[in-house]
Structure 1
Amino acid sequence: MSFGKASKAFGIPKTTILDHKNGKYKMGSVPGRKPVIPKNLEDSMVAKAIEASNKGFGVSKKQLLLKTARLCRTSKLPTPFKNGVPADTWWQGLKSRHPELSLRKPEALSSARTKMMNPTVIHNFFKDLAKIVSELGIAAKPERVWNCDETGKKFQHRPINVVARKGARVVSSRTSDSRENVTILACVNAAGTTI
């Protein structure tokens, strides 16, 4: 196939194909500057940030930038960062290299509740619930199955956005165990009637 036909067939400029053929660019190279932090260190840093988020100790964007600056200092990596701290352009580049990252607003979750968020406890709850619904004979009577949920405005800090995996369903951040709030109790049954 000629360079002209390849250009049309794959939508790649002819000059780009010629540059690769003549060895101007290495195979697998990407446009732009080489990342400041080596790939293995960056991958490890991203994995640790996601792991921290999964455990309820997510780091904010600012914290990640400061930790990156510290990593560069301790590893003696030459950086183009102003005052040694990466700017927003570095963050945007990091997100493009790791599309699984995003800033998410975590739910406030007390330490006591985090202990109950595991598959065994949740499975046992629904198993017990199914048993009770069956024993009471209300499985076919949706108007008798009610769900009540209290919610309200808590008098504690709201967690800041933290770095987490894109699409993560649960992103939590630990807060104080303060129970002061204004409470609202909402009730709805399985037939859709509300109180």
Structure 2
Amino acid sequence: MQKICRPTVLTMQEEEILVHTLVKLGKWGYGFDRLQLQRCVQDYVRRMDRPNPFHNGMPGPDWCLMFERRWSTEISRRVAQNLPKNRAAAGSQEVLEDCYNKLKDIIARFDLQNKPQNIFNCDEIGFQQMPAYRKYFVKGVVVILTSW
């Protein structure tokens, strides 16, 4: 059986390029939130001189949700985390490999392989009480490891 639904405004190829762009911008540290995505699509449809089916010319929340569902295996929305420039620069391949080697040693030493409920992520600052709530599109899950 074939799905019965309204055709998408952008073609699959155009949406694929948009998703690729969202992922690339996220890797570069420039997150897109829903409003920016809506404005980008609005501007693209206008520039391509297509009929604009959106109310007030801009995609609404329903369009965003359906876009996110269509591409849920590629992108998701996450709360942004501040990362100082010096910590970002310290993320070289050697530093990351050393960090993961130390993590493996600690997990083995304390027999935590099958006990994820006993593993916590914190640093010298401790646990944040109220993190920021603005969500951006990113590829997969973002994991930030802190120094030992």
Same fold (TM over 0.5): yes
> Is the Cα–Cα contact under 8 Å of residues 53 and 164 in structure 1 kept in the other structure?
yes
| Aligned mate of 1:53, from 6, 23, 26 | 26
Change (3 A) 1:65 1:170: farther
Q: 1:149 aligns to what?
A: 123
Name the structure, 1 or 2, with higher relative contact order (CA <8 Å, separation 6+). Answer: 2
Partner deviation per Cα, 1:119-158 (whole Å, 9 max, x = no partner) = 322224566x69xxxxxxxxx8xxxxxxx9321699xx94
Partner deviation per Cα, 1:71-103 (whole Å, 9 max, x = no partner) = 111112222111211001111211221122322
| Aligned mate of 1:80, from 33, 53, 68 | 53
| Aligned mate of 1:105, from 57, 79, 84 | 79
CA distance in 2: counterparts of 1:126 and 1:89, whole angstroms: 41
CA distance in 1: counterparts of 2:133 and 2:25, whole angstroms: 14
Percent of residue pairs bearing the same amino acid type: 23
Q: C-alpha root-mean-square deviation of aligned residues, in Å?
A: 3.2
| Aligned mate of 1:115, from 66, 80, 89 | 89
Q: Are 1:70 and 2:82 counterparts?
A: no
| Aligned mate of 2:17, from 44, 67, 78 | 44
**Aligned-partner SS, 1:44:** helix
| Aligned mate of 1:164, from 138, 142, 147 | 138
Change (3 A) 1:120 1:78: farther
Change (3 A) 1:72 1:159: same
CA distance in 1: counterparts of 2:44 and 2:99, whole angstroms: 44
**TM-score for the superposition, normalised by structure 2:** 0.69
After TM superposition, list the pairs within 5 Å mapping 1:169-184 onto structure 2: 169-170=142-143
The structure with more strand, counted as a fraction of residues: 1
| Aligned mate of 2:65, from 86, 92, 98 | 92
Q: Which has the larger radius of gyration?
A: 1
Q: How far off its partner does 1:118 sit? A: 3.4
CA distance in 2: counterparts of 1:31 and 1:118, whole angstroms: 49
Question: Structure 2: which 5+ residue stretches go unaligned?
Answer: 104-108, 110-121
User: How many pairs align?
Assistant: 127
